[in-house]
């Protein structure tokens, strides 16, 4: 058994290119255990690529990625890491329950787990509906419910709160903290800066690099900003691009 | 790879189809309608008796190829495949699960097509009707596995539909329905000997006319089986957990 105080995820000098475009160039970062870590940054900055690498579905050029003490993507991790892609990856032509029953069978989790995750994601009353007939927010909750099956040790959630109403977002962040309280490590990405204050720890990312790795309070203190958005802008001003522009090289806009 | 995960995958695919009654009806009825149309076209000639058995091979093969390739491509494109491959699902579980589910549908489809051809269209089958059904099912499963393989090389639905004329039509043209294979130019004859559909059509015609023994049919079934296994293995190899 690996020392439980070792980080949940440890990334060293990671290089990834998607197509001809280098996305991550020498990124190093670590995600501690048992807390909610927010991965924030403009769209196109490499959040999804980093998450795909941690889950082990991304071809990498070089670098080491260790997850829960094992090499990312190794077979022993496939039970222990829950992954929610940005677009809900669920079957529209199955009911909510049938989706979860299938994922449960693939994971080999106990049968009663389906009812547990339905209750956690507030989908019990929709269990018999076809996923294709649900709203966008409900569909993404089905996707999240699938990742909660089998109580994984690490949850990698790519923008899980996009398109949800404010009340539901609060409920989900409460759920994330409940999961962290029982020892689950969570890495949650978002491009909405006001979600940053809900995280225990923040990774601010821009253009394939980590600009800051701190607690929300520490980040505000270090930058003297009033909110995370201001902190992010202050950091960008400290680390301008070689061409002097503040904007990300991709389509993203930090504001 | 475990039997539980393979069966769960097959069950999941069948539940998806069950939620789409129109597909089920099309799957079961269209081949019979086309065979009926052919029988009608050639009603006062002896042609249907010659090409009818081949048609039983053709339609389930084509329909299964299309249905499978599009369904699996959809799985690749909606992100569910990425999710499954980050989970403890073996690549073989997925491919075999699909083969099992569509293979079962192929059994139903072939049974309807054979029954319709024999009892409604009056196709004369001198040999065993069970052997005829066995060849038809093998042929439909072949369509399923080739469809699985084709979907690995397609990025879009448009591309995967183009694989149908690319992979299926040559087999039809060379399979002996348009011109008996022994009358083909030598080079084409040699090529057609390697194509699985040729053997399916040969086997069905042999059962219909009862001109060959069961060992011959078994040999043809083995060749089709080898193609099925080859397509499943290649399909598993082309499935990658890590993508660029």
Q: What is the complex's ipTM, to 2 decimals?
A: 0.86
Per-residue pLDDT tens for A196-242?
Answer: 888 999 999 988 999 899 999 998 898 888 888 888 888 888 877 65
For residue B24, list chain A residues with Cβ-Cβ distance below 8 A.
none
Interface test with B, best of A74, A93, A97, A100 (most B CBs within 10 A): A93
DSSP-derived secondary structure letter, A125 = G
Per-residue pLDDT tens for B28-40?
Answer: 898 899 999 999 9
Tell me if residue B143 falls in helix, strand or coil. helix
Interface test with A, best of B88, B90, B239 (most A CBs within 10 A): B88
> Which of A87, A98, A106 is closest, CB to CB, to B88?
A106
Q: How many residues does chain B have?
A: 244
Contacts for A48 with CB less than 8 Å, ≥ 6 apart = A86, A158, A189
Does B8 sit within 8 Å of A105, measured CB to CB? yes
Does A106 sit within 8 Å of B5, measured CB to CB? yes
Residue among B73, B61, B26, B64 at smallest CA distance from B169: B61
Nearest-CA residue of chain A relative to B94?
A106
Question: What are the strands, taking DSSP E only, across B50-93?
Answer: none
Chain A residues whose C-beta sits inside 8 Å of any chain B C-beta: 18-19, 55-59, 73, 75, 78-79, 81, 83, 85, 87-94, 98, 102-103, 105-108, 130, 146
Of the pLDDT bands very low, low, confident and very high (cuts 50, 70, 90), residue B226 is: very high
CA-CA distance, B133 to B145, in Å (whole number)? 18
Calculated CA dihedral for residues A156, A161, A167, A171, nearest 10 degrees: -10
Q: How far is B242 from chain A (nearest CA, A)?
A: 4
Query: CA torsion sign, B93 to B95 to B96 to B97?
Result: positive
CA-CA distance, A189 to A203, in Å (whole number)? 9
Per-residue pLDDT tens for B167-224?
Answer: 888 998 998 888 888 899 999 999 999 999 999 999 988 888 888 888 898 999 999 9
pTM for this model (two decimals): 0.88
Q: How far is A78 from chain B (nearest CA, A)?
A: 5
Per-residue pLDDT tens for A120-167?
Answer: 999 999 999 999 999 988 999 999 999 999 999 999 999 998 878 888
> Which of A83, A85, A94 is closest, CB to CB, to B19?
A94
Rg over alpha carbons for chain A, rounded to the nearest Å, is 18
CA-CA distance, A132 to B24, in Å (whole number)? 19
DSSP B155-201: SSHHHHHHHIIIIIHHHHHHTTSSS-GGGS-HHHHHHHHH-HHHHHH
Does an H or E element contain A46, and which?
none
Distances in Å between the Cα of B48 and the Cα atoms of A36, B35, B124, B181, B217 are: 70, 9, 10, 18, 21
Tell me if residue A182 falls in helix, strand or coil. coil
Termini Cα distance of chain B: 24
Per-residue pLDDT tens for B58-77?
Answer: 877 888 888 888 888 888 88
| A61 neighbors A223 (Cβ within 8 angstroms) | no
| B114 neighbors B56 (Cβ within 8 angstroms) | yes
| Arithmetic mean of pLDDT, A94-105 | 97
């Amino acid at each position: 058994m690996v020392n439980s105080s070792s980080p949940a995820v440890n990334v060293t000098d990671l290089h990834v290119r998607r197509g001809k475009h280098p996305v991550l160039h020498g990124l190093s970062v670590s995600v501690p255990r048992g807390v909610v870590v927010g991965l924030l940054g403009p769209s196109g900055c490499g959040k999804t690529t980093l998450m795909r690498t941690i889950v082990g579905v991304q071809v990498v050029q070089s670098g080491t990625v260790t997850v829960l003490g094992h090499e990312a993507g190794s077979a022993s991790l496939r039970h222990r890491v829950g992954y929610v892609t940005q677009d809900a990856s669920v079957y529209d032509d199955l009911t909510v329950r049938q989706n979860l029953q299938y994922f449960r069978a693939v994971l080999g989790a106990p049968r009663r787990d389906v009812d547990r995750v339905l209750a956690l994601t507030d989908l019990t009353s929709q269990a018999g509906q076809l996923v294709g007939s649900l709203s966008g927010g409900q569909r993404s909750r089905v996707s999240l419910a699938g990742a909660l099956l089998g109580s994984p040790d690490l949850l990698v959630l790519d923008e899980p709160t996009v398109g949800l109403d404010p009340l539901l977002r609060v409920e989900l962040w409460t759920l994330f903290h409940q999961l962290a309280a029982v020892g689950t490590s969570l890495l949650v990405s978002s491009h909405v800066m006001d979600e940053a204050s809900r995280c225990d720890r923040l990774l601010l990312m821009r253009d394939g690099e980590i600009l800051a790795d701190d607690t929300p309070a520490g980040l505000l203190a270090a930058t003297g900003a009033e909110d995370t958005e201001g902190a992010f802008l202050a950091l960008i001003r400290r680390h301008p691009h070689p061409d002097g522009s503040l904007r990300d090289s991709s389509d993203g806009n930090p504001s | 790879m475990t039997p539980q995960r393979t069966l769960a995958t097959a069950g999941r695919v069948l539940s998806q189809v069950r939620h789409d009654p129109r597909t089920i009806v099309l799957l079961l009825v269209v081949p019979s309608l086309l065979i009926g149309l052919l029988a009608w076209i050639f009603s006062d000639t002896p042609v249907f008796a010659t090409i009818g058995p081949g048609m039983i091979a053709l339609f389930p093969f084509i329909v299964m190829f299309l249905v499978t390739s599009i369904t699996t491509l959809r799985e690749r494109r909606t992100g569910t495949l990425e999710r499954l491959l980050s989970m403890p699902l073996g690549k073989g579980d997925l491919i075999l699960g699909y083969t099992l589910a569509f293979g079962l549908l192929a059994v139903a489809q072939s049974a309807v097509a054979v029954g319709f051809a024999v009892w409604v269209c009056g196709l004369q089958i001198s040999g065993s009707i069970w052997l005829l059904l066995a060849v038809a099912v093998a042929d439909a499963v072949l369509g399923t596995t080739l469809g699985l393989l084709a979907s690995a090389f397609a990025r879009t639905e448009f591309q995967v539909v183009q694989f149908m004329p690319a992979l299926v039509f040559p087999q039809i043209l060379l399979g002996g329905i348009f011109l008996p294979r022994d009358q083909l130019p030598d080079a084409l004859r040699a090529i057609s000997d390697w194509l699985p559909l040729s053997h399916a059509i040969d086997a069905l015609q042999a059962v219909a006319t009862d001109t060959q023994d069961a060992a011959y049919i078994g040999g043809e079934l083995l060749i089709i089986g080898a193609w099925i296994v080859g397509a499943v293995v290649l399909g598993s190899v082309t499935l990658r957990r890590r993508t660029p």
